[in-house]
A and B are shown apart, each in its own frame.
Chain A
Amino acid sequence: MAIKTIDSEKCQVCPTRQTTGCVVYDICPMDVYRLDEEGKPYIAYVRDCQSCFLCVRDCPQQAVYVTALVDFPILPY
C-alpha cells in the first residue's frame, strides 16, 4: 500500500484541472482517485496504488506524492 498525499492548494490553482479536468484522475491505471464536488482529486482507493509514479510524472502541478515502500507482505522464496 503506497501512502500518498495530494497538495490541495496546488490543485486549487491548477489551470489544466479547471479547463480539461484533473489529469491524475484521468490517467491512473489502477483508478485510485475520485473527484470531490470542486473537481479536485482525492485518494479513494489507497490500497490499490501500485506505485507506478505515472501520476507523479503527469500531474501538471506536481501536486502528488507517492511512496514506493509497500506494506504488503513479500512472500519468502
Chain B
Amino acid sequence: MAILDTETREIETDLLIIGGGAAGLWAAIRARDFCPRVLVVDKGKVARSGASVHTHCVLAPVTEDKIHEALEEIVVEGGYMANQRWAERTLREQADRIREMASWGAPFRKDASGALYTAKDRKQVVNNSVYLLGSDMMDTMKAHARSKGVDFMERVAVAELLTSDGQLPTRGSVVGAVGFHTRTGEFYVFKAKAVIVCTSLMSAELYNAAVNNLTGDGHAMAFRAGARLSGMEFGQIPNFPIVNRKVSTGHPAVFQLYGAKLVNNLGEEFVEKYYPGKTLQLLSRAEISYAVAKEALEGRGPIYFDMRHWSDELINEWRRVLPSMMKRMDEAGIDMRRDRLETMPRVGSWGGAAQSGIRIDENAESSIPGLFAAGVAAHVPVNIIDMTGVSQAVCYASGYRAGEVASQRAAGGSQVKPLADQVNRLRAKVFAPLRRESGIDFQQIYLSVGKVTVPAELSFFKHEKRIKGTLAELGRIQQEEVPRLKARDVHDLVNCLGSQNLPLLSEALYRCALARLESRFSHYREEFPYRDDINWLKWSIAENSGKGMKVSFESVPIETYPIKPAQRTRVPAPVQFTFKETVKAAV
C-alpha cells in the first residue's frame, strides 16, 4: 500500500501543543509571550473539532469580595476533594480571561444595558454564568492566536510521545511526538523542548455527544509514556442524554434549568426523595442520573422529562441557542409542548477535567519532565460538582498556566534529538492496522467494551465481583481484539487508533474503582454505600509500571488549604441500590 511508503516529515518547534480546543488555544496564546515557536497540532479542524465548539455557557467573572464564598461553594459541595489552589486560581483569573476574550471580539451575550448577561446555571447559588456560543468563542480565539504568531497544523493525529531514552514508560523526559496526516498518511516526527497535551475527554460510546473524535488519545499516550493518571474511577460521567430511545441530545442541562419535571412511570417527581430540598437546577448530572437509574431498575420506569408547560418563547430561545439539540427533537418527531421525553441514563463520555485525567501539579506539569497537560485531558480537580461553565473556566486557567510555564521551560531549554530507533518502532506500530490483510472493525471495540462498562450494574452500581468480571473482559479485548484491528484506509486508521484507548483507559478506571472502598460522586460500591471522609479524602493514581498497571492513592492535602471540613465523617450515599439479576430483567 502506497501509504506505508510515505515520507517522514520532521518538524522542529519549541513548544508542541497537542489539541487546539479552548485549553490548547489559551496555552498557545499565552506561550507566545515567552517563546518564539509555538505549534498547535490538531487531528481535526481547530475551532470545529472537539468539545469547546459545542459549549454555550462559561463561569462568570468573580469579584474579589466574592472569591472566598465562590470557592466555598465549589469546595464544600465537592466533598472537599477539590484542589483549592487550582480552584482559587480559576476563580481569580476568570475576569481577566473573559475581559481579554471580549477585547478580541468574542460576542458574549449582553443584557439590555449592554453589560454581560449573567444568570444562574446548573449548581449555582453563589456563582454565575455568562453565555457565548462555542463556535464564536473558538473562531475568535483561533484568529487571535494566529495574529500572535501561533503556528497551526491541522488534520494531523498525534499517536505517541517520544522520550529521551527511547522507552515507554520513560525514565527520562518527553522530547516530542509522532503522528500522521489523516488524509495523506504522511508520517510526522515532532521535535519539541516541551509538550502540552490538550486532547480533552474520551467518547466511550459513539454518537452520544457529538465528540466521537475525542478518544482519550492524550490520556493514553501519556499513560504509556509513564505519566500518572488520577481520579480514573470517577471518569465515567453519568448523564441522561438519550431521548425516546432514538436520539442523543448532548445537552440535557437545559431540561434541568428551566423547570422541566422529572417523573417516573407513576407520575411521581422522585428526585426530592433522594436529595431533600434540592431542585433539579441544584443537582449534578451524576446525582440525577443515579436517581433515574435506581427508579428504572426498581421497576418505576420509563422515566420522563415533562416540559409541556414550557412557553413557545422559551422553546424558541432554545432553537436559537442550541439549534442542534432542537433539530434532534424535531427529527425524532418530538414536540416538547405535546410529548413527554423518555430519558435513559448513560456513562457515555469519560474524563471531565475535574474528575480524572493526566495528573498535573500546580504548574500544569505531569509526572514526566517536559510533559504538561491542560483542559479536560488534565486532572484539575475543581469542578467536581459539575457546575455549568466551570469546565470552560478550568480549561482557560490550566491552558494559560501550562502555556506560561511550558514556554518558559522551552525558551530556556535545548532540543534533544529523538532516537531513530524509537521513531521507527512507533512508525511500524502506528501503521500496523493498515498493514493487516484482514481483522476487526474499530466499532467492534466500542461494542465489546460497552457491553462490560455501560450496563447499570457495571457502571452506576459497582461491586467487587462484577468489577473483576469487567477487568477480565477488558484484558481479553486488549489481548485478542486490539491487535487485530484493521484499518480500511488512512481515514479509518484514525478510528482504529482512537478505539485502542478505550479498553486501556477503562482498565485504569475499573482498577481504581476496585481499590476505592467507599462511594462518592460517580463512583458507587454496593458493599460500601457511603462517602467516607475519614479514610478516603484521597485521589487514586494509575500508572504504567512497565510490567502492568499500578494503582496507589495520594491524600488531598486538606490541612494546607483555606477551606477545611469541621470534622471528617461517613455520610450515607443519597441513592443506594443493590443489584439483583431478577430486577434487571424488568427494565
Contacts and interface: CB of A to CB of B under 8 A. Distances in A.
B491 A69 contact: no
How big is the B interface, by class? 35 or more
A45 B182 CA distance: 13
Interface in B325-365: 327-328, 331-332, 344-346
A44 to B, nearest CB: 8
Given A29-B44, A31-B491, A57-B323, A70 B210 contact: no
Interface in B22-56: 44-45, 48-50, 53-54
Given A76-B587, A77-B345, A52 B207 contact: no
A67 B332 CA distance: 9
A27, A28, A56, A57: most-surrounded residue (chain B CB, <10 A): A27
Nearest to B155: A31
A74 B53 contact: no
Contact of B48 (A29, A56, A68, A70): A29
B44 A31 contact: yes
B210 A52 contact: yes
A54 B47 CA distance: 11
Interface string A32-48: 00000000000011001
B477 interface: no
A61 interface: no
B135 A57 contact: yes
A51 B54 CA distance: 12
Given A50-B206, A53-B323, A77-B345, A26 B45 contact: yes
Contacts of A28: 45, 48
Given A27-B45, A51-B207, A53-B323, A75 B331 contact: no
Interface string B365-381: 00000000000000000
A72 B48 contact: no
Given A29-B45, A48-B212, A70 B207 contact: yes
A63 B460 CA distance: 42
A30 B50 CA distance: 10
Interface in B393-423: none
A69 B451 contact: no
A21 B293 CA distance: 48
Nearest to B207: A70
Contact of B206 (A52, A54, A58, A72): A72
A77 B295 CA distance: 13
Contact of A31 (B182, B345, B454): B182
Contacts of A77: 293, 296, 344-346, 454-456, 459-460, 587
Contacts of A75: 205, 447, 450-451, 454-455
Given A29-B49, A70-B248, A50 B210 contact: yes
A48 B495 contact: yes
A55 to B, nearest CB: 9
Given A51-B207, A77-B344, A68 B247 contact: yes
Contacts of A58: 48
Nearest to B182: A31
A36 to B, nearest CB: 15
A69 B54 contact: no
Nearest to A54: B48
Contacts of A76: 454-455, 587
A72 B454 CA distance: 15
B246 interface: yes
Given A67-B331, A77-B293, A30 B213 contact: yes
Given A28-B45, A30-B213, A74-B245, A50 B207 contact: yes
B219 to A, nearest CB: 19
Contact of B212 (A30, A44, A54, A68): A30
Interface string B431-475: 000000000000100010011001110011000000000000000
B197 interface: no
A69 B459 contact: no
B308 interface: no
B570 interface: no
Contacts of A52: 54, 210, 324
B242 interface: yes
Nearest to B154: A26
A72 B203 CA distance: 14
Contacts of A31: 44, 155, 182-183, 491, 494
A52 B48 CA distance: 10
A72 B210 contact: no
Interface string B153-185: 001000000000000000000000000001100
Interface string B203-230: 0011100111100000000000000000
Nearest to B328: A68
A32 to B, nearest CB: 9
Contacts of B454: 75-77
Contact of A53 (B45, B50, B246, B324): B324
Nearest to B494: A31
A74 B491 CA distance: 25
A27 B139 CA distance: 12
Nearest to B446: A72
A33 B445 CA distance: 24
Given A50-B210, A52-B324, 7 more contacts: A29-B49, A50-B212, A53-B327, A54-B53, A68-B248, A68-B331, A69-B246
28 contacts: A29-B213, A30-B44, A31-B44, A31-B182, A31-B183, A44-B491, A48-B212, A48-B495, A50-B212, A51-B324, A51-B328, A52-B54, A53-B327, A58-B48, A67-B331, A68-B331, A72-B207, A72-B443, A74-B242, A74-B344, A75-B205, A75-B451, A77-B344, A77-B345, A77-B346, A77-B454, A77-B456, A77-B460
User: 5 shortest A-B CB distances, which residue pairs?
Assistant: A52-B210, A68-B328, A53-B324, A29-B49, A50-B212
